[in-house]
Structure 1
């Protein structure tokens, strides 16, 4: 927000200096980003009028001007500005003036005397326009100093506003904060109604529900649209960062800057019927003021006449109904639109307008009528015309309501740690425009309708803190004894998970929790997505339902930069929309994921070079599972993003944890990754759960081992075979180890040979050969019965 210092002081009289004002604004949360002084050192610049202008005999681009500077005799000035002409009124720097680094002295230009310099706005430091002389109104008093005529010195102050302070996108809004901080009062605003003379009215129909609960309009006939914008208004606009365009447009901009209410002026002659506000329809288009054709969907608000779109509500007017120099009859509008109805709509079209910026953050819902009356008075004073009655359509039930909040003395002291005198509390709150009524234990406070950020007692306390001064709050250490919470032993903590993965030579990465919906479509992860209402960009519009898309994309970017070995992991939350009535909160799940590609080991002389495979990553995962004592079970997986023959579902104690495997080659190619990528993703909570360690006696008796080789169908999974062996052998089986897999000559097609070792041990006695033979026979029988396996001959 940029504004003129003098304009602000006209609303809140204060004797503080410019430097003190800047410090106060920053201290109360309205951070000053820039202060551009205007008019300093221009005491020797006067208003002058060019009487005659003749071509310089020695230079085509120079003119010899005779200039009246109010001193009786004309001054001869050599000027090269393209707009220098007889009758032009412009600033003249007299001999002795200091313009920036230039000292004005009598000079000869191509042999012709010049006694001063006619100036552009940029040379004077008043604007960025250097295309020609700064043209002043024809009635400007010749000889008067420019400082006096333009109300200088002044300053253009730019402040950085937080999103919750939408009320400070106006001079009046800032004035209330300054008044509270400087112990002053805001000058009352005159919003007296303008008496209606004409009778023409346009009916207004609101069909957008709570998105557009108030719309105010007025017809003004017989307006002189060619009237010049007065210098005082043009200068206030220019110093606030707005370039004057034409009177009618400038009036709406001026009211918006002063009061905070965006407005628009339609050419009444271009309207066809009654005014309406409704949602746009799919495939509707509207030609905007900037000349572009906006393709709309059903998420936009439109202002219509006879159901024809004439403006994007809250953003920009339409081209066909704009006011021009030929406009004689005007329809003024001022409305209240809900912030949610405007948020993100301009970004869809690549638009950023001052109106949209304000409506997205919230505009005072009671302001439209006052803005219409004020704009009407300005237009009548400057361009004439006949005003008709104000027409208003309102849905009272949909307007934001102002609540009365209880504020307690004890709560102020509790939150801030200091006592603020009752008189100071009341002065601050009233200076901010709030209604205050004393009670036994404090006050009942009603915030003004422009303050959307005031909702609870702590909001009022925050206002007291920033105006009373954060420097007034002493720095104290917290008191009381702190409770030390012992970490649970029933869960592997996140730090231990990170350390375990780092020990396996993986590097942690942190990716955005927002992802591109197009990326999720490539992964076929389109169900239960949580879309953002106001995304940072189109590429970050959906909350991630999985860690893998972002993690694999990061791996791909690293691999594309000639990194031959990439090993990444991430701990983070994923989000899924829950089913149910209404809109239940999204389900958040903590997960751990890893992705690897390239060489299995860093290059060195002692090991042969090879690429990573499924079992490398499986080893990393089993190492992590061992830290929590988890026994993982792997079964074939058919997830669409996984290689159909090299991926598996991971479970623990019958509970599904997640997935591990190779990313499908088609998906990797679509993501422009030209190497094999292996990854896993698991829910962290069931993986990290662990039982409390319990000491048990080690057997004092020797173990015995029997190796068996079975022919089993190719489709048989090792996890199922192992489970069968453990059930058949029972507590005597201490460990079962698979040490060989063979297919080929000697093994019939459709079968594979698996060689495994059974390690048997009893806690109470030494096993005999008869015991072991009985156990082995039961194991073989169970394998034949459940898996059609047989001992390999």
Structure 2
């Protein structure tokens, strides 16, 4: 919110300096981001009265002007196209210094002496207009200092308002805060009804009460749209960051900035029949005032005429078809209350933002539409003339202001001081909040313009900011911080992240929002759509971490990276009706925490010690196994829609699926335009933070017995199944406790075997802690293993093994 200090002081003028005013506003929660002068420094410029204008004898585009400067008549050469006898303009006298340090001195231009300079607004740093001289009112005092006459010592405030301060998006609302802070008197504009000389009313029907709660409007005929906007209004608009356009548009903008009330003025002759307030329809289009043509849908509110033609985007921007012009003679002025939820986010759908939408989506006072319409009408009649019809006010529903209770003890605890009851009551009184004492608490009924007062903490905030944040004592925090026992069976998530980082992976932090098309290619669940996405390409909640990792990979590849290792720890989201609401849970949404990673490019940086090769499934499998530590997840061959059918595996732990590992599917790789397929993994964080508690086991002093078995099985049998049968044989055999370790170290297919057979070689370690093993025990265990795999898998010992 940007406004000049003089405008604010016209409502409330406390005995504070500019610096004190900025400080008090900031400490009250209205952060003053910047205070700048209305004009850059310059001196020696006065109001000049042009007495005569003659053509320069030696230049076609220059004139010689006789100018009364109040201290005498000066001859000044000027090339401005709008210089004419009788106008009053800024005149820089010899010795003047203009913005940028440009000094004025007497000069000779094409043989004619020039003792000064007639100035444009741009030359004085007032605006970018340099099409001609800055024309001053005819009653401007000749010789007066231009800085004093135009109030250029005024300061312009820029406030950084938080979304809850909807009532401060107008100078009057800010002045109300200043009056409460300072105790100075508050003056408000007159909302007296204008004289009604017409009986005409434009038919208005509200077909969507959930869009518009109140619609006030009136017809005004006989206006002069070519009337000049008053200088005082133009000056305030320019210093508030608004470019003056025409009288009707300027008046509407002025009321919005002063009262926080967006309004709209229609050209009455361009409206067919009446107006309909409704939701948009599929297939409808609207050309906005900014020239943009947008597609409408049932989630966007519109104002249409009786024929159904859309004329305006409700609460956001008017349409070009009914815009006022300099030829407009009859208008319809509208001031409405749009429900904030019906406006929020709609402008961002079309990649723009407006002052009206910014205010309506936060909440505009629904009780003052008629008063503000009368004020707007009075300005129009005073500046543009015309005759007004009566106000037509249609109400379908207004927001209910429920009383809010604040416990005195609770307020003192939250604020941290023993604030008195009298000070609490005084704060509410100064803020014009109707409050009554009921026992040990205050009950406040928020006024219609305060949308932010809904819970007890809101009232506590109002009390403390009026009392003064700067008065709060500075105390060190005190809290009981007992050291919590760390379960041995769990490790921290930081330890997991540090472990994967030690495997040469870089951590990234991505958005929880992703594009729906990308997530559907990579995920296995229907994503949860966002009602108000921050960008079109981030319209759903992620169901997998892979989307963000792949987007980061692509960004790195676009910057000529050749080897990328990335990981992210974060939550994914999926609809699950079984999830109940709780302190850390949202009803119907499952949010497991996952660890995801991606590997792309060479397996190792270029070096002399190993040949270059691309990273593969088994490289990343080793990285994932390192994260599990002493836990042994099972790897099951399974298919995932985002992974290569023959190069993917599902991880299970204790019979429960906990993650996936695999190479990206060729179709997805092609769709994402990746030069080669990366290897991806995603594992539940809960499975990684768990770890078995170590238990003591004596180290054997006796030598182990090592035996190798080459077993021929059908090619369709996975190696894991063979290992499972070996474990089952160990459990069944009386001497199974001697088997300490089993590993698969070779697979052979080819000569000596049938076409559908393969040979799997396993190595067995057998050892006892009390004695040396004998051959009979070892042979019994091996025989039990061979018998078990033979019966269950049809395996046989390979000849010569």
CA distance in 1 between counterparts of 2:315 and 2:726 reads 72
The aligned residue for residue 630 of structure 1 is: 631
Task: Kindly indicate whether residue 594 of structure 2 is the aligned counterpart of residue 588 of structure 1.
Answer: no
Question: For residue 573 of structure 1, what is the aligned residue in structure 2?
Answer: 571
> In the aligned structure 2, how far is the partner of 1:577 from the partner of 1:675?
33
Counterpart position of 1:792? 798
| Partner secondary structure for residue 213 of structure 1 | strand
Cα 1:57–1:161 change in 2 (3 A) is: same
Q: Classify the secondary structure of the residue corresponding to 1:530.
A: coil
- Equivalent position of 1:716 in the other structure: 717
One of 610, 613, 630 as aligned partner of 1:610 = 613
The answer for unaligned runs of 5 or more in structure 1 is: none
User: Is the CA contact (8 Å cut-off) linking 1:263 and 1:332 kept in structure 2?
Assistant: yes
Offset of 1:646 from its aligned partner? 1.2
Give how far 1:633 is off.
0.8
Q: Give CA deviations for 1:728-785 in whole Å, capped at 9, x if unaligned.
A: 2314343221111011222222221111123345678876544444443443343233
> Which residue of 2 is the match for residue 231 of structure 1?
231
Q: Which runs of 5 or more structure 2 residues have no equivalent in the other structure?
A: 581-585
Label 1:526 to 1:97 Cα distance change in 2 as closer, same or farther (>3 A).
Answer: farther
Q: Tell me by how many angstroms 1:679 deviates.
A: 1.9
Which deviates further from its counterpart, 766-775 or 781-790?
766-775
Distance (Å, rounded) in 1 between the aligned partners of 2:464 and 2:184 = 18
Q: For the residues of structure 2 that align with 1:43 and 1:367, how far apart are their CA atoms?
A: 45
SS at match of 1:711: strand
Kept in 2: contact 1:263–1:334 (CA 8 A):
yes
Is contact 1:150-1:232 (8 Å) kept? no
Change in Cα spacing, 1:152 to 1:599, as seen in structure 2 (3 Å) is closer
Measured after TM superposition, the shift of residue 260 of structure 1 is: 0.5
- Mark the CA change 1:209 to 1:638 in structure 2 (over 3 Å): closer, same or farther: farther
- Pairwise mapping of residues 653-692 of structure 1 onto structure 2 (< 5 A)? 653-692=654-693
Structure 2 partner of 1:364: 365
1:435-461 Cα shifts (integer Å, max 9, x gaps)? 232344353223333222222222222
Structure-1 separation of matches of 2:141 and 2:270:
40
Q: Quick one: which of 537, 540, 543 aligns to 1:542?
A: 540
**Is 1:737 equivalent to 2:736 in the alignment?**
no
Partner of 2:320: helix, strand, or coil? coil
Instruction: Return the alpha-carbon distance in structure 2 between the equivalents of residues 161 and 128 of structure 1.
Output: 27
Q: 1:376 to 1:712 in 2, by over 3 A?
A: same
Question: Of 524, 527, 530, which aligns to 2:528?
Answer: 530
**1:557 aligned to 2:563?**
no
TM normalised by structure 2 equals 0.92
- The answer for the alignment partner of 2:622 in structure 1 is 619
TM norm structure 1: 0.92
1:747 maps to 753
Q: Write out per-residue CA displacement over residues 201-244 of structure 1, whole angstroms, 9 at most, x where no aligned residue.
A: 12322223323222221111222222211111111111111111
Q: Give distance in 1, aligned partners of 2:117 and 2:588.
A: 69
Check the 8 A contact 2:80/2:132 in 1, yes or no: yes
Query: What is the distance in 1 between the residues matched to 2:373 and 2:782?
Result: 96
Deviation of 1:247 (Å) = 1.2
Check whether the contact 1:180–1:427 (CA below 8 A) recurs between aligned residues: no
Distance 2:42 2:667 in 1: 71
Identify the residue that residue 346 of structure 2 maps to in structure 1: 345
Aligned to 1:408: 407
The alpha-carbon deviation at position 318 of structure 1 amounts to 0.9
Aligned residue number for residue 77 of structure 2: 78
Residues 288-344 of structure 1: per-residue CA shift (max 9 Å, x gap): 112332222332111111122000112211111111122221111111223332233
1:436 matched residue in structure 2? 435
- Mapped to 1, the partners of 2:421 and 2:639 lie a distance apart of 70
Distance 1:529 1:367, change over 3 A: farther
Change (3 A) 1:580 1:88: farther
Aligned-pair CA distance for 1:501: 1.7
Superimposed CA distance per residue, residues 394-431 of structure 1 (whole angstroms, 9 cap, x where no aligned partner): 222xx332232223332232122223344443343333
* Contact 2:40/2:125 (8 A) holds in 1: no
The alignment covers a number of residue pairs equal to: 787
What do the CA deviations read for 1:31-59 (whole angstroms, capped 9, x no partner)?
A: 33333323687786444443432221122
Q: Residues 777 and 553 (structure 1 numbering): CA distance in 2 closer, same or farther, change over 3 Å?
A: same
Partners of 2:103 and 2:499 lie apart in 1 by: 73
Shift of 1:625: 0.9
**1:508-519, aligned counterparts within 5 Å?**
508-519=507-518
Partner residue of 1:209? 209
Cα distance, 1:247–1:713 mapped onto 2, change above 3 Å:
same
Question: How far off is 1:502 after superposition?
Answer: 2.6
How does 1:176-191 map onto structure 2 within 5 Å? 176-191=176-191
Asked if structure 2 preserves the Cα contact closer than 8 Å seen for 1:38 and 1:125, the reply is no
Give, in whole Å, the separation in 1 of the partners of 2:612 and 2:323. Answer: 72
Residue of structure 1 in register with 2:128 after alignment: 128
Please give the alpha-carbon distance, in whole angstroms, between the structure 1 residues aligned to 2:148 and 2:264: 33
Rounded to whole Å, the distance in 1 between the matches of 2:457 and 2:429 is 17
3-state secondary structure, aligned to 2:742: strand
**SS in structure 2 opposite 1:367?**
helix
Deviation at 1:585, TM superposition (A): 5.0
- Determine the C-alpha separation between the residues in 2 that align with 1:605 and 1:44: 77
CA distance in 1: counterparts of 2:299 and 2:524, whole angstroms: 22
Relative to structure 1, is the Cα distance of residues 160 and 574 closer, same or farther in structure 2, using a 3 angstrom cutoff? same
Measure how far apart 1:106 and its partner are: 4.6
Distance in 2, matches of 1:498 and 1:61, equals 74
Contact 1:195 1:387 in 2 (8 A): yes
- 3-state SS in 2 of match to 1:186: coil
Q: How does 1:440-519 map to 2 (within 5 A)?
A: 440-519=439-518
- The CA distance in 2 between the partners of 1:35 and 1:375, in whole Å, is 29
Question: In the TM superposition, what is the alpha-carbon distance from 1:621 to its structure 2 partner?
Answer: 1.1
Q: What is the CA distance between 1:531 and its match in structure 2?
A: 2.8
Judge which range, 262-271 or 40-49, deviates more. 40-49
Q: How big is each residue's C-alpha offset from its partner over 1:491-516, in whole Å with a ceiling of 9 and x where there is no partner?
A: 22112212222332323222222222
Structure 1 residues 556 and 37, CA gap change in structure 2 (3 angstroms):
closer
Q: Deviations over 1:176-203 (max 9, x none)?
A: 2222232323213422333533221123
Preserved contact between residue 211 and residue 279 of structure 2 (Cα < 8 Å): no
For the residues of structure 1 that align with 2:39 and 2:791, how far apart are their CA atoms?
100
The answer as to whether partners of 1:553 and 1:671 remain within 8 angstroms in 2 is no
Taking a change above 3 Å as real, the CA distance of residues 66 and 663 of structure 1, as seen in their structure-2 partners, is same
Cα deviation digits, residues 81-117 of structure 1 (max 9, x gap) = 2222334332333456544434555544333233433
Offset of residue 286 of structure 1: 0.9
* Aligned-partner SS, 1:358: helix
Alignment partners' CA distance in 1, 2:50 and 2:315: 45
Q: SS at the partner of 1:361? A: coil
3-state DSSP of counterpart to 1:286: strand
**Residues 508 and 139 of structure 1, relative CA distance in 2, 3 Å threshold:** same
CA shift in 2, pair 1:431/1:707, >3 Å: same
Deviation at 1:589, TM superposition (A): 1.2
Bigger mean CA deviation after superposition, 45-54 or 749-758:
45-54
* Matching of residue 27 in structure 1 with residue 27 in structure 2: yes
